Amino acid sequence: TSGVAAERYVQLLGRCLGLVSVPAEVLGANLETLAAVFDVNVDAVIDLVMQQPALLAAQAATIAASMDELCTALRLDSRADALRMILQQPSLAVDATAAALSARIAALAKAFGVQSEGEMRARCAAQPALLVITPNTIRGAISAMAQQMGKQPSECLP
């Protein structure tokens, strides 16, 4: 498929054994679809899937929509930034809406006393886990860290 060496598929299958039951033409088509969504070649998609196999479980259209929503909500410079976030937090590839993400960012900014939502957006872009872990869990961990360090919680945010 797309001029990718057979060895690359063998590497992928070796890393993701569950894919051996997927017909080669279906796997190839899925990889090509993801390549189009991510605007990379199939060889790069193989690297991404080996890094995050969950990418093959989601619908390409859903991932594409989530990338657009991440770009909108976090005001990202490129879809590559959204892809990086999805690789770090695969759950962002499904059901991410700009409205929900924006509300989450606003709630995090308020909870941690971050004055600027732009600053909170940048922190969320750098640490995508902030968008998927419950605010109470984050608040508890950061408050404990802040107390131990004698700092304000906003000073301990990633």
Residue 15 has pLDDT above 90, yes or no: no
CA distances from 72 to 78, 85, 151 (A): 10, 13, 32
**Residue spans per domain, the chain:** 1-57, 98-155
Give the pLDDT confidence score for residue 31 in this predicted structure: 92
Kindly report, residue by residue over 32-61, the tens digit of the pLDDT: 999 999 888 998 999 988 888 888 888 888
Provide the whole-model pTM. 0.77
3-class state of residue 102 by DSSP: helix
CA distances from 145 to 6, 124, 135, 157 (A): 49, 19, 15, 10
Residue with tokens 């308020």: 110
Kindly report, residue by residue over 57-79, the tens digit of the pLDDT: 888 889 999 999 999 999 999 99
